[in-house]
Amino acid sequence: MAGQDRQTAVVDAVEKQLLIGGKWRSATEGKTFDVTDPATEKTLCSIADASTADGLAALEAAHAAQPSWAATAPRERGEILRRAYQLLVDRADDLALLMTLEMGKPLAEARGEVLYAAEFFRWFAEEAVRIDGGYATAPSGTGRFLVLRQPVGPCLLITPWNFPMAMGTRKMGPAIAAGCTMVIKPAEQTPLSMLALAGILEEAGLPDGVLNVVTTSDPGAVCEPILRDGRARKVSFTGSTPVGKILLQQSADKVLRTSMELGGNAPFLVFDDADIDAAIEGAMVAKTRNIGQACTAANRFYVQRGVAEEFARKLAERMGALKVGPGVEDGVAIGPLIDTDAIEKVGTLVSDAVSRGAKVLTGGAANEGAGHFYQPTVLTEVAPESRMASEEIFGPIAPISVFDTEDEAIAAANDTEFGLVSYLFTQDLNRSLRVTERLDTGMVGLNTGLVSNPAAPFGGVKQSGLGREGGRVGIEEFLETKYVAIAEP
Ligand code: NAP
């Protein structure tokens, strides 16, 4: 376990102020808010609490830096990202500890997130030099077409607390590669990872004003004026669907480009012909990663009747054996949920399911004492009208229902307004393809419980979002297309 001195040192090492135009400075009137460790409920530190005026100052800085940044050589933009990638890798242990302290996830997972976050910088360092265009003869044979790709312009990036670094680099990487400047607003509960990341980008040589960071306890007061101002050209948001809808409405006024990575309600389908042990491994990743607090978390398990009892029993054995405790302790697999609201919500969803007939195979309650700990829980016979069938659980709860036919499983999987990811376990090739094509989600995990990869296009359909992050398409979200009509030469 990391000692108290080292914990204090990693928190002390982070700037606690706003980054605006290359200067670290306090918020208007010197306001601050506290950052808390969810495992101990103790305050870690206080940081600057930006106002509307601070947000607009950050936008002004991003707007002022935009022309020179857009004119910077793509190779130079890529090299900055590459240096930042290396710094993240070199400092992964300290950054992981910082993340665990503010967010709660076990240290090994936090380290995994730092490396995953770094990979977005490496990937987009490589993409920066591959922005291309086109030249063509008009179909009539007279005249030519020239197509240019240019940066969208200043962007507002808003990130959630559950992956406090990776959700940032997944946006900042392509924005930097494309030549966009940005204002970033990290989640109130986990600003330290983003502040550390901003320090690393400074060190890597990112020019003043390209990245501006505003931490705030009043996100609406800071973000809405930026969206309505007219100088920002894009908003990229990762967070809940309700907040995404508010931002889409606010963006309509100035017709901003929008990228929305929103909530999920992932179905996890296990057919009789699946490799059950592989399905259990997949379920453990899809359910317990990030303490179940992932947009990609398996939210509903549908298991075919022939293997339902075996799957539930094995999953309950594995989940019931997980060590619950502060993420900084050795061997912990399930850290605290982010706050008391999260504990209450999970408790309410479990009680609701049980009141409708669900059986508890393991877990089913919060732990007593400090910290927001909820026991890994497996429920069977979960009724379709249970709240957890339609709401994001965001906790280590696995609700299992049984199905008989392929059509029944697909209908249940698609019966949600969300469409981020689904998981499918079967060894039948034809079934794999048939079911994959009919699942109404932006991503499918086929015999795997983990889909995230910086080199792949991440994103959802329906109310899970608009646009994709990562992969070859990730940079497109930060580029405009300009067509030049040329007279016959
Ligand atoms: P959230 O409440 O929507 O918050 C996300 C971010 O939006 C935070 O920075 C938050 O600031 C900010 N925000 C809240 N209200 C705002 C407003 N009126 N104007 C501007 N910004 C505002 O979501 P969360 O609880 O942090 O994150 C969990 C959600 O994110 C889940 O639904 C999860 O599925 C989703 N998620 C999706 C993906 C994906 O890729 N699809 C990835 C990760 C998470 P404060 O922190 O100050 O509230």
Q: Write out the chain in H/E/C secondary structure.
A: CCCHHHHHHHHHCCCCCEEECCEEECCHHHCEEEEECCCCCCEEEEEECCCHHHHHHHHHHHHHHHHHHHCCCHHHHHHHHHHHHHHHHHCHHHHHHHHHHHHCCCHHHHHHHHHHHHHHHHHHHHHHHHCCCEEEECCCCCCEEEEEEEECCCEEEECCCCCCCHHHHHHHHHHHHHCCCEEEECCCCCHHHHHHHHHHHHHCCCCCCCEEECCCCCHHHHHHHHHHHCCCCEEEEECCHHHHHHHHHHHHCCCCEEEEECCCCEEEEECCCCCHHHHHHHHHHHHHHHHHCCCCCEEEEEEEHHHHHHHHHHHHHHHHCCCECCCCCCCCCECCCCCHHHHHHHHHHHHHHHHCCCEEEECCCECCCCCCCECCEEEECCCCCCHHHHCCCCCCEEEEEEECCHHHHHHHHHCCCEECEEEEECCCHHHHHHHHHHCCCCEEEECCCCCCCCCCCECCEECCEECCECCCCHHHHHEEEEEEEECCC
Residue 296 CA to ligand 1 center (angstroms) comes to 14
Q: Cα separation of 93 and 179, whole Å?
A: 30
Q: Is 290 in the pocket of ligand 1 (CB under 6 A)?
A: no
In the chain, the largest separation of any two C-alpha atoms, in whole Å, equals 78
- The catalytic residues are 261, 295
Q: Cα separation of 429 and 441, whole Å?
A: 19
Q: Is 190 in the pocket of ligand 1 (CB under 6 A)?
A: no
Which CA distances in Å does 294 have to 161, 265, 291, 394?
A: 10, 10, 8, 7
Which residue puts its alpha carbon closest to atom 10 of ligand 1?
187
Superfamily for domain range 266-454: Aldehyde Dehydrogenase; Chain A, domain 2 (3.40.309.10)
pLDDT of residue 298: 98
Residue 187 CA to ligand 1 center (angstroms) comes to 7
Per-residue model confidence as pLDDT tens for the chain (489 residues): 668 999 999 999 999 999 999 999 999 989 999 999 999 999 999 999 999 999 999 999 999 999 999 999 999 999 999 999 999 999 999 999 999 999 999 999 999 999 999 999 999 999 999 999 999 999 999 999 999 999 999 999 999 999 999 999 999 999 999 999 999 999 999 999 999 999 999 999 999 999 999 999 999 999 999 999 999 999 999 999 999 999 999 999 999 999 999 999 999 999 999 999 999 999 999 999 999 999 999 999 999 999 999 999 999 999 999 999 999 999 999 999 999 999 999 999 999 999 999 999 999 999 988 889 999 999 999 999 999 999 999 999 999 999 999 999 999 999 999 999 999 999 999 999 999 999 999 999 999 999 999 999 999 999 999 999 999 999 999 999 999 999 999
Q: Cα separation of 9 and 13, whole Å?
A: 6
Residue 263 CA to ligand 1 center (angstroms) comes to 9
Q: Is 243 in the pocket of ligand 1 (CB under 6 A)?
A: yes
Q: Identify which of 158, 169, 251, 341 to mutate to test ligand 1's pocket (most ligand atoms within 8 A of the CB).
A: 158
pLDDT of residue 1: 62
Q: Which atom of ligand 1 is nearest to the CA of 460?
A: 41
Q: Is 162 in the pocket of ligand 1 (CB under 6 A)?
A: yes
Q: Which atom of ligand 1 is nearest to the CA of 261?
A: 41
Q: Which atom of ligand 1 is nearest to the CA of 469?
A: 40
Residue 161 CA to ligand 1 center (angstroms) comes to 7
Q: Is 163 in the pocket of ligand 1 (CB under 6 A)?
A: yes
Q: Is 55 in the pocket of ligand 1 (CB under 6 A)?
A: no
Contact 80, 206 (CB under 8 A): yes
Contact 410, 440 (CB under 8 A): no
Residue 120 CA to ligand 1 center (angstroms) comes to 20
pLDDT of residue 430: 98
Residue boundaries of the structural domains of the chain: 4-262+464-484, 266-454
CATH code that applies to domain 4-262+464-484? 3.40.605.10
**Residue with token string 């063509």:** 136
pLDDT of residue 135: 98
Q: Is 465 in the pocket of ligand 1 (CB under 6 A)?
A: yes
Which residue puts its alpha carbon closest to atom 19 of ligand 1?
220
